[in-house]
A and B are shown apart, each in its own frame.
Chain A
Amino acid sequence: MSGEPAPTDAARTPLVEARDLTFGYAAVPVVEDVDLRVERGEYVGIVGPNGSGKSTLLRLLLGLHEPDSGSAELLGHPARAFAERERVGYVAQDVTEDEKRMPITVSEVVLMGRFPHAGFGRVTADDRERTREALRTVGIEHLADRKITALSGGQRQRTYIARALAGEAELLVLDEPTVGVDAESVEAFFELLDGLVDDGMTVLLVEHDIGAVIEHASRVVCLNREVYFDGDPTAFADSDALDRAYGTNVRREEGGIVT
């Protein structure tokens, strides 16, 4: 990267840092006193019951909401400053629910990852090359000229990952990326994420599938308004954090945990 701070400094700054973060849409807080620090190279899965504030926490960390109290920092800047955003890739929930049917091709979407780099300038040959490269990495190069609405849910999520890669993101933030994606593609999607983490990507993932998070993430954060657990996935599986966070709705079945 071409950033000015020395690499050692940049490496030491946590990519995400929340302190005493509290936020509510109304009087009742949805997220309360959350402390969260994500270091470079981590693969953090955030789990919690429906309405537990997982997505809101992500939105706070991305600067989309102003915290009621506490602070949220992204890449060492206050999240609300939206600084150095080319370093963050964002894949949102429910992209399959796209009734807009806007005509746009896969490669046009992935090229958007280059827009923060290009600013008001022209898109260069280098930008297009990085776009192709990103499509190759996620394995959908052959779909480049396809209309995005003609893709399956899993292929679309790969497109958004490719957009983040084209933008040279160091931090990938994913909000329930497997909603509406069939089981087989979900498996392949998590394998793709594993590969990216192996190559040095930092991942912050909100996911309803607790089993997948325990299997793939290097760290689990269990949230229900407050943080109930933060640590190693195996320790999480053995702890009672899940029961406390979810109440009694959790059944433990062989091979996985179902909510």
Chain B
Amino acid sequence: MTPLVSVSVALISLLSAPYGLLARLVGLWSDGLGWLGERLGIAMLEYVFMHHAFLVGALIAVMAPLIGTFLVHRQLALIGDALAHTAFAGVAVGLFVNSLLGTGISPYVTAIVVAVIAALAIELISEATDAYNDVSMAIVLSTGFALGAVLISLNTGGLAVGINQYLFGNLSTVSRENAVLLVVLFAVVALVVTVTYKQLLYVTFDETAARVAGVNVPWYNRLMTTLTALVVVGAMQIMGVILVAAMLVVPVAAAAQLARGFREALLASVVLAQIAVLAGITMSFHYNTTAGGTIVLVAVAVYILAVLAGKAQSRRAGDEIPERADATEKSTSD
């Protein structure tokens, strides 16, 4: 079975899995946090939306760096940004359809659909032109955002009011349904990455060698971008369209400063992302700031600390190993 088919099969079966069960699990989480907040006297844990925000944040802080690690080390960091902006078009489509037909489809569902289509389109374009180029990526990004803006302006002004939460994210609008959707997205992403970890790593490290070794590189590229689309839409709820890509990039860049191995880098990026998300959500509650922006600022602070720590670390390592095996290497690589 091809990876993409297995993704969609998993997605469909997971979506049709009893919603009630997942909702009850989210409810249990909420009860647990509420109880904890009461016991420890943490005021922000009195609010159910904060329980959801912490759940969604923690899941984002696992799956965004997980996918981001593969993207960043293939120098495809921009893909997250491009897909986020097309996801915005998806949100607009959802809102548009709802107001036109009076349906109640979640805009996040249409965002997923549109972002996944855009992901596959980006892959097909890059396969046809034999290169990811930043120009076509920029075109996809602007097209998505422009399409979203036009669709929204086609509606009456009333819609424009609700658009801020998609652009900048919003903690207080994370409903139980949205939390359940995120749990589902998380399960799909985590499952697929676990199963295809080796292939994704091989393709990330050396695409040509992976092809020679018989790995179906185009399929894994499509899989990777599709997963990116899912993560981006999932993280959009609290990060917002504009800042969502930061979660794919900043913790990963920080981890790369500290880690030697790939597995180590993955783990470190998740830990750093958790710090950024949990601290960011807490601060945004206390200082009444936007969550996405606060989280990104914390992540950037963590990144700066990681750069400094990495520099100190390599200086120490440099003292221990005075000479590298060949000096020519050093002069060419620096």
Are A and B part of the same complex? yes
Answer yes or no: B265 CB below 8 A from chain A CBs.
yes
Q: Roughly how many angstroms separate A141 CA and B208 CA in the complex, as a whole number?
A: 26
Q: Roughly how many angstroms separate A90 CA and B215 CA in the complex, as a whole number?
A: 13
A243 to chain B: closest CB distance in Å?
A: 32
Interface contact A86-B213, CB-CB below 8 Å: yes
- Residue of A at shortest CB range from B328? A182
- Residue of B at shortest CB range from A107? B261
Stretch at the interface among B37-45, B106-114, B155-163, B197-205: B197-205
In the complex, what residues of B have CB within 8 A of residue A92's CB?
206, 208-209
Interface contact B196-A152, CB-CB below 8 Å: no
Answer yes or no: B316 CB below 8 A from chain A CBs.
no
In the complex, what residues of B have CB within 8 A of residue A105's CB?
260-262
- Residue of B at shortest CB range from A120? B195
In the complex, what residues of A have CB within 8 A of residue B262's CB?
102-105, 108
In the complex, what residues of B have CB within 8 A of residue A88's CB?
212-213
Answer yes or no: B286 CB below 8 A from chain A CBs.
no
Give the number of chain A interface residues (Cβ < 8 Å): 44
A41 to chain B: closest CB distance in Å?
A: 21
Q: Roughly how many angstroms separate A105 CA and B326 CA in the complex, as a whole number?
A: 19
Answer yes or no: B75 CB below 8 A from chain A CBs.
yes
Answer yes or no: B329 CB below 8 A from chain A CBs.
yes
In the complex, what residues of A have CB within 8 A of residue B198's CB?
112, 115, 118, 120, 123
- Choice from A98, A99, A100, A146 contacting B260 with Cβ under 8 Å: A146
Q: Roughly how many angstroms separate A109 CA and B267 CA in the complex, as a whole number?
A: 18
- Choice from A64, A108, A167, A185 contacting B211 with Cβ under 8 Å: A64
- Residue of B at shortest CB range from A95? B206
In the complex, what residues of B have CB within 8 A of residue A184's CB?
326
- Choice from A86, A146, A151 contacting B214 with Cβ under 8 Å: A86
Answer yes or no: A71 CB below 8 A from chain B CBs.
no
- Residue of A at shortest CB range from B206? A92
Interface contact A152-B324, CB-CB below 8 Å: yes
In the complex, what residues of B have CB within 8 A of residue A115's CB?
198-199, 201-202, 213, 215
In the complex, what residues of B have CB within 8 A of residue A109's CB?
205
A61 to chain B: closest CB distance in Å?
A: 10
B164 to chain A: closest CB distance in Å?
A: 37
Q: Roughly how many angstroms separate A114 CA and B206 CA in the complex, as a whole number?
A: 15
- Residue of A at shortest CB range from B257? A103
Q: Roughly how many angstroms separate A178 CA and B170 CA in the complex, as a whole number?
A: 55
Interface contact A147-B260, CB-CB below 8 Å: yes
Answer yes or no: A10 CB below 8 A from chain B CBs.
no
Interface contact B75-A100, CB-CB below 8 Å: yes
Answer yes or no: B100 CB below 8 A from chain A CBs.
no
Residue of B196, B206, B263, B264 with most chain A CB atoms under a 10 A cut-off: B206
Interface contact A64-B326, CB-CB below 8 Å: no
- Residue of A at shortest CB range from B208? A92
Answer yes or no: A180 CB below 8 A from chain B CBs.
yes
Interface contact A112-B205, CB-CB below 8 Å: yes
Answer yes or no: B325 CB below 8 A from chain A CBs.
yes
Interface contact A101-B328, CB-CB below 8 Å: no
- Residue of A at shortest CB range from B73? A102
In the complex, what residues of A have CB within 8 A of residue B199's CB?
115
Interface contact B205-A103, CB-CB below 8 Å: no
Answer yes or no: B259 CB below 8 A from chain A CBs.
yes
In the complex, what residues of A have CB within 8 A of residue B236's CB?
none
In the complex, what residues of B have CB within 8 A of residue A235's CB?
none
In the complex, what residues of A have CB within 8 A of residue B64's CB?
none
In the complex, what residues of B have CB within 8 A of residue A152's CB?
324-326, 329
Given contacts A92-B208, A115-B198, A120-B195, contact A103 B259 (CB under 8 A): yes
Interface contact A96-B333, CB-CB below 8 Å: yes
Answer yes or no: A128 CB below 8 A from chain B CBs.
no
Interface contact A155-B256, CB-CB below 8 Å: no
- Choice from B196, B202, B212, B264 contacting A62 with Cβ under 8 Å: B212
Interface contact A112-B201, CB-CB below 8 Å: yes
A60 to chain B: closest CB distance in Å?
A: 12
In the complex, what residues of B have CB within 8 A of residue A118's CB?
198
- Choice from A62, A104, A155, A173 contacting B205 with Cβ under 8 Å: A104
Residues 99-149 of A at the B interface (beta carbon under 8 Å): 99-105, 108-109, 112, 115-116, 118, 120, 123, 145-147
In the complex, what residues of B have CB within 8 A of residue A63's CB?
211-212
In the complex, what residues of A have CB within 8 A of residue B208's CB?
64, 90, 92
In the complex, what residues of B have CB within 8 A of residue A82's CB?
211, 214
- Residue of B at shortest CB range from A100? B73
Answer yes or no: B332 CB below 8 A from chain A CBs.
yes
Answer yes or no: A11 CB below 8 A from chain B CBs.
no
In the complex, what residues of B have CB within 8 A of residue A153's CB?
326, 328-329
Interface contact A103-B261, CB-CB below 8 Å: yes
- Residue of A at shortest CB range from B265? A103
Residues 173-215 of B at the A interface (beta carbon under 8 Å): 195-196, 198-199, 201-202, 204-206, 208-209, 211-215
A-B contact pairs, 6 of them (CB 8 A): A63-B212, A90-B212, A98-B333, A102-B204, A102-B262, A120-B196
Ranked nearest first, the 10 interchain pairs of A and B with the lowest CB-CB distance are A85-B214, A152-B325, A105-B261, A102-B73, A103-B265, A90-B212, A182-B326, A152-B326, A82-B214, A104-B262
Binding site for A on B (CB under 8 A): 73, 75, 195-196, 198-199, 201-202, 204-206, 208-209, 211-215, 255-256, 259-265, 324-326, 328-329, 332-333
Beyond known contacts A153-B326, A180-B328: 10 more, CB 8 A cutoff: A100-B75, A102-B256, A104-B205, A105-B260, A112-B205, A115-B198, A118-B198, A145-B261, A155-B325, A180-B332
